[in-house]
Structure 1
């Protein structure tokens, strides 16, 4: 692997900008990238769950990634999610990511025909990882979306035997016992990227030093505050900020969750990413007005922490 360094701090899971008709709004990515650079996150995770990856074509995912790499201009790292239900398409996306200059790749498990064992999961991912062998590879563990809940620790141990570039896991699960096990596995060999924004302090308490989250896009000051407070062992401040995170997460759940509600919130930070692609139904103006009122009631527009 070339120039590999462990990730640290906030990695924003990016939304995919779209026009009202659901087509890609690629031009918006330049403004989005400038915004990301300005708020101080250390990287972006492109075309993951937040980016509606499985609602996009392979070619669309390539176009989105190319724009992120073009406009990042070295200011932050670009990680490409290449997971697909088709192993062949995932391999194609992995090769493209490496050739386009991505920093790393990640992939979630297939969610239609599901692997029944760790051996199945290793066999599925091995040719994908090898298609981008110069890049760090992260297993994107998200049982709530994929329905695949196999031992992550066992996968990391067995997977490393076949995938030298397997460096860790994007851990989007609330099984903190397993997360702790992964962090201490093989004397801390593997990176564990915390994936549930609303319980970030738990992951940091276990020893994680990086997180991938959708709400980092519009609450960066809150999460940077949590990282800073936990580093100083200031639990009072960390808990206070985590509660602010929880309050906003409750708002986005009210409006359809992190993808639908979170994408709508981007309008209020100056990066209008448009609607989600169907079957996630679009916001109407009346709903936007209600969302703004709920955000105001939760002190969202106060950038001080």
Structure 2
């Protein structure tokens, strides 16, 4: 892998901006990228769950990635999610990511016809990772969305035998024992990117040093503070900040969760990414009003 460096700190899972007609609105991305750079992001995770990846066409995903690579301009890393239910689409997206200048690729398990064993999962990923062989590859483990709950530590050990550029896993699961197991493999051989924003302190306490999160987009001060507090063993501060994170998450859950509710928050802070694509219901003006009121009640805008 060329110029490979482990990730550390915040990686924002980005929203995909749409216009009023539901078409890509790539003009938003340069300003969005400036916000991420100013917030101190180590990187962005493009076209993942937060980015509504499986609601996009292959060509749309390519366009979004190209826009992010250009807008990043080397200020932070760009990780391309290339997961797909169709293996040939995953291969195409991975090859494009490498050609387009992405810094890494990641893929979730197929979620319609599912792998029945770790070997099946490894075999599915081998040609996808190989198509971007110069880039680190991360297995995006998110059983709540994919329905695939195979042992991740076993995948990492077996996967490394067939996927030379396997760097680790984006671990979006609350099984912290399994997460710790992954962190301990071969004296820390694999990167484990923490994926649940509301329990970041737990992941960092177990040894993770990087996280990928959707709420990082609009709560960067909170998470930057958590990372710094945990580095200095200031648990009291970390706990207070984590509670602020939990308070925000509790609000967005009322509005459809991190994708729908989070996208609405982006509009409230000046980055209008439009509505989510169907099957999500468009956000109403009444909802925006209520969301803003609830966020004010927890001092979000302060």
TM range (shorter): over 0.9
Which residue of the partner structure matches residue 94 of structure 1? 94
The alignment status of 1:280 with 2:280, answered yes or no, reads yes
In the aligned structure 2, how far is the partner of 1:71 from the partner of 1:235?
36
Alignment match, 1:168: 168
- CA drift of 1:205 comes to 0.3
Corresponding residue number in structure 2 for 1:255: 255
Deviations 1:223-273 (A, max 9, x none): 000000001111110000000000000000000000000000001221111
Q: CA deviation at 1:38?
A: 1.0
What is the CA–CA distance in structure 1 between the aligned matches of 2:103 and 2:210, rounded to whole Å? 15
Partner of 1:109: 109
Q: Following the alignment from structure 1 to structure 2, what is the Cα–Cα distance between the partners of residues 39 and 204? A: 20
| Count of aligned pairs between the two proteins | 302
Cα drift, residue 168 of structure 1: 0.2
What pairs with 1:196-207 in structure 2 (closer than 5 Å)? 196-207=196-207
d(CA) in 1 for partners of 2:7, 2:15: 20
In structure 1, what is the equivalent of residue 62 of structure 2? Answer: 62
Gaps of 5+ in 1: none
Q: C-alpha deviations, 1:41-66, integer Å up to 9, x for none?
A: 11000000000000000000000000
CA-CA distance at 1:35 after TM superposition: 1.1
Identify which range, 53-62 or 26-35, moves more after superposition: 26-35
Q: 3-state SS of the aligned residue for 1:276?
A: coil
- What is aligned with 1:121? 121
Q: Residue in 2 aligned with 1:215? A: 215
User: What SS does the aligned partner of 1:259 have?
Assistant: helix
What is the Cα-based RMSD across aligned positions, in Å? 0.4
Which whole-Å deviations, capped at 9, do the CAs of 1:13-49 have from their partners, x for residues lacking one?
0000001221110111111111111111110000000
List alignment gaps of at least 5 residues for structure 2.
none
Moved over 6 A (4+): none
Q: Which residue in the other structure is 1:136 paired with? A: 136
Structure 1: distance between partners of 2:182 and 2:211: 15
TM-score by length of 2: 1.00
Q: Tell me the distance in 2 between the aligned counterparts of 1:126 and 1:187.
A: 24
Q: How does 1:259-274 map to 2 (within 5 A)?
A: 259-274=259-274
Q: Quick one: distance in 1 between partners of 2:73 and 2:167?
A: 25
2-side partners of 1:66 and 1:295: how far apart? Answer: 33
SS of equivalent residue, structure 2 residue 126: helix
Structure 1 distance, partners of 2:244, 2:34, is: 26
Give me the whole-angstrom Cα distance separating, in 1, the residues matched to 2:229 and 2:190. Answer: 24
SS at match of 1:263: helix
Q: Secondary structure at the match of 2:44?
A: strand
Partner of 1:224: 224
| SS of residue in 2 equivalent to 1:27 | helix
TM-score computed with the length of structure 1 as normaliser:
0.99
Counterparts of 1:21-60 in structure 2 under 5 Å?
A: 21-60=21-60
- Structure 2 CA distance, aligned partners of 1:129 and 1:190? 16
User: Does the residue aligned with 2:10 lie in a helix, a strand or coil?
Assistant: strand
The answer to whether structure 1 residue 85 and structure 2 residue 85 are counterparts is yes
